[in-house]
């Protein structure tokens, strides 16, 4: 989905730094800071919460989804039903179609074995994967993902990162994430919005960001 997001001196609250930037129509965009929590900016860019001041607008109408670490799976439903519930509730597909697409998502993430497992029995990686798959069931144009690798081991992060990088081509979805870590930013080589010293800095890719950090 090719669209841009324009932030015009947008602040999520009175104490925050104003974000004034046109987010490019790229597959992945990363927000990064060493000292500031950028979660409120991610929610603001998703239009999940309105700006305290300034504005955020999209170049076209799109559907979005937001994932953070506070979101929980439905504990009394097995994995496959966690995936199909929203689709069936909104009558977006038949039950058979929803189950087939849920199966395809679990295959994509190499998690078919968790189909009948309940959330309490899932590993942190399986839980994170199921949260992503549940969002993908609704076929959003863009996913805003807060701290995608939080709570995962390094091995689990590596397992998940390649799937996230491939999301845009496999599912035609755009990913905008907060604090994905330096390794993911390097692997994805995506545009970086970096907050430091009470200012936002913008880099087209990892190499530009790395060069500026080395020069600084």
The two structure tokens encoding residue 170: 């496999």
pLDDT above 90: residue 212: no
Q: Quick one: pLDDT band at residue 6, thresholds 50, 70, 90?
A: very high
Asked if residue 213 has pLDDT above 80, the reply is no
| CATH annotation of 5-215 | 3.40.50.300
pLDDT tens per residue, range 85-105: 888 766 777 888 889 989 999
Q: pTM of this prediction? A: 0.92
The structural domains of the chain, with segments of one domain joined by +, span 5-215
216 pLDDT more than 60: no
| CA separation for the pair 120, 200 (Å, rounded) | 40
Sheet holding 142-146, edge to edge: 64-67, 142-146, 174-178, 28-33, 192-196, 199-203
What is the predicted pLDDT for the residue at 143? 95
Across the beta sheet with 53-58, the strand order is 19-23, 5-11, 53-58
């Amino acid at each position: 989905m090719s669209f841009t997001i324009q932030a015009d001196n947008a602040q999520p609250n009175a104490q925050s730094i104003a974000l004034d930037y046109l987010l490019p129509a790229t597959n992945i965009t990363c927000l990064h800071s060493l000292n500031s929590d950028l979660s409120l900016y991610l929610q603001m860019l998703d239009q999940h919460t309105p700006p305290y001041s300034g504005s955020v607008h999209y170049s076209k109408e799109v559907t979005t989804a937001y994932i953070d670490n506070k979101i929980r799976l439905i504990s009394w439903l097995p994995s496959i039903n966690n995936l199909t519930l929203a689709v069936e509730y909104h009558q977006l597909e038949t039950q058979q179609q929803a189950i087939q697409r849920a199966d395809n998502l679990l295959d994509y993430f190499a998690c078919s074995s968790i189909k009948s497992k309940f959330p309490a029995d899932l590993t942190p990686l399986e839980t994170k994967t199921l949260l992503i798959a549940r969002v993908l069931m609704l076929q959003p144009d863009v996913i805003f993902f807060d701290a995608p690798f939080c709570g995962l081991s390094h091995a689990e992060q590596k397992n998940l990162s390649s799937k996230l990088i491939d999301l845009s081509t496999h599912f035609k979805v755009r990913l905008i994430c907060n604090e994905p870590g330096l390794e993911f930013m390097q692997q994805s080589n995506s545009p970086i919005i970096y907050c430091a010293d009470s200012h936002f800095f913008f880099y087209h890719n990892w190499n530009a960001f790395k060069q500026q950090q080395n020069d600084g």
